[in-house]
Structure 1
């Protein structure tokens, strides 16, 4: 019986690995990877643009000073060193100083950008999670397209927007960060309620997915109600009535 259970467990593990590969090549993870590449391409474009602007500014200053007084060889070398320093500083400022080992979601960006940063955070941390947790993360990711559309039209101080922002920038990233801090050897230990660290992680992710889904539904419901109200108004004001 034990041998049979071992074979079943190994077969299920192989199946999970195969499905993971398929998902990463064709499924939602592949779509997430494309979005991440698009974000990185856009970021690289912004970095290149800022570096070019910085170089042009240093060159303009150098030419301006040279028109007023000779700068000489030392002045030229100083201008080159200044240009190099400005380029390096501009690069790190535009790139955000490099990516941390555990990424984070900023709390001070507009709603739409926060959803994008959260999507990037999930993509970059997904592989460090156990397979069942990755499935829940994929479910969260599938909600983000609609959530971004609704949040972009919602004021940042709106209560629903605030709840979604806390989930995306504080609570869920904090859950994953704390999970990553737990040594792998201790993640299978059972706590006082009979649950392992992995189980706690999955439950937290599931609760987050449910909460984001509820926020998304409430925001979408507002748009539906506003549309219905506008439609009734136009129908009442401009609708034709049959004359006897």
Structure 2
């Protein structure tokens, strides 16, 4: 088999494996969330353009009522509206880039931006690392739901925020900066760059899962405490809801 034919076979196999990989549930869910984010950003852009055109139109009408603007004034207003619409419509939002979340984002927005970052960087990583990325992605929806309800300064939230904005993106970005031919070289601990990436992602995944579990256990404990309070305060059958002296109503309940 010639070298060119061998390369074509490898490329085809890689393409088939990538297509099969993208059918996995975690990847499919990550892609769905990314589409939702893109659609939401598009809707906000359209809304801003509509508001801007409405403001220009309103100003043009008001000026026209005070002093006729003529055809050239009308064309100028149309040109201004088109320019503003183009500026707002095509201005980069930063959400389409594979950049790490900013450290000052609120909890919920940070999880969303980190989710998008992982999805966009996933294709540049080796297969074992992609498996770790998928495992992290599975944790993010429930983690976002929990983090949105707590303060950014909560210690558990701070741990999660550092992982999502600094440690894990830093690991991935530094890996991508390593030339491909050096990624299989072993270091002094007999570990390759690829293996080090997988180990780091695995440790980060465990840390995020631990934070999510601690927060979930805290919610469960709060729920159990509330349930025990209601049971002890009002008792069975709601009889303690009656005020002392409502003997007639109590007799009706007991009968």
Report TM bin, short chain.
0.7 to 0.9
The answer for the alignment partner of 1:99 in structure 2 is 96
Alignment CA distance shift 1:117-1:210 (3 Å): same
Say which of 181, 186, 193 aligns to 1:185: 181
The answer for the alignment partner of 2:128 in structure 1 is 132
The answer for the alignment partner of 2:233 in structure 1 is 237
The answer for the alignment partner of 1:90 in structure 2 is 88
Alignment CA distance shift 1:192-1:26 (3 Å): closer
Does residue 176 in structure 1 map to residue 172 in structure 2?
yes
Instruction: Tell me how far 1:196 sits from its aligned partner.
Output: 1.8
Alpha-carbon RMSD across the aligned residues, in angstroms, is 2.4
For 2:108 and 2:133, how far apart are their aligned partners in 1? Answer: 19
Does residue 78 in structure 1 map to residue 71 in structure 2?
no
Does residue 121 in structure 1 map to residue 97 in structure 2?
no
The answer for the alignment partner of 2:248 in structure 1 is none
The answer for the alignment partner of 1:32 in structure 2 is 30
Write out per-residue CA displacement over residues 183-220 of structure 1, whole angstroms, 9 at most, x where no aligned residue: 21221222232222212211111111011011001100
Please tell me whether the aligned partners of residues 23 and 30 of structure 1 are also in contact (alpha carbons under 8 angstroms).
no
For 2:137 and 2:66, how far apart are their aligned partners in 1? Answer: 58
TM-score of the pair, normalised by structure 1: 0.84
For 2:59 and 2:236, how far apart are their aligned partners in 1? Answer: 70
- Of the structure 1 ranges 188-197 and 227-236, higher mean CA displacement relative to structure 2 is found in 188-197
For 1:79 and 1:18, how far apart are their aligned partners in 2? Answer: 53
Q: Number of residue pairs matched?
A: 227
Instruction: Tell me how far 1:26 sits from its aligned partner.
Output: 4.3
Say which of 209, 215, 219 aligns to 2:211: 215
- Of the structure 1 ranges 102-111 and 54-63, higher mean CA displacement relative to structure 2 is found in 102-111
The answer for the alignment partner of 1:4 in structure 2 is none
> Structure 2: which 5+ residue stretches go unaligned?
1-8, 238-255
Alignment CA distance shift 1:98-1:239 (3 Å): closer
Higher relative contact order (CA 8 A, sep 6+): 1
Specify the SS of the correspondent of 1:190: coil
Q: Considering only CA atoms, is the larger Rg found in Structure 1 or Structure 2?
A: 2
The answer for the alignment partner of 2:160 in structure 1 is 164
> Structure 1: which 5+ residue stretches go unaligned?
1-9
Does residue 47 in structure 1 map to residue 45 in structure 2?
yes
